[in-house]
Amino acid sequence: MTPRRVLSELESLAARIGISVRAEPFGRGVLEGRGGLCWVDGKPIVVMDDKLPVADRIAVLAGALSRFDLEAVHVAPLVRETIEATRAGARPRKRRATHPGLARTRPRR
């Protein structure tokens, strides 16, 4: 399966479980990072920089999907392996209190 196909499968999976995926331009000097999962009005959304290469988009999306229970959903074996590898390799992040619905980003200095 090609990387573009893996990305397409991940996007399809996200849509099936009700997660919006958006690639938006991250303004230089405004946002840092590649993107990730955020919640807006109680709904999950994955936002990523539209300039990311396919491999990085896969990593961002797989990382976001790894936070959800996907046992009851049919997922292609390679896509499931990609998500599981992200889940296994992810370090727990310290959570900070944030405003509901706002992405956790910070301006570059």
20-24 and 43-49 strand pairing: parallel
89: tokens are: 């390799």
Angle at 11 between CA 6 and CA 16, to 5 degrees: 125
- State the chain's mean pLDDT as an integer: 82
Q: Where are the domains of the chain?
A: 3-88
| 79 vs 25: which has the higher pLDDT | 79
Is the pTM higher than 0.85? The answer reads no
Distance (Å, whole) CA 82 – CA 101:
27
pLDDT computed for residue 45 by the predictor: 95
Does domain 3-88 fall under CATH 3.30.2010? My reply is yes
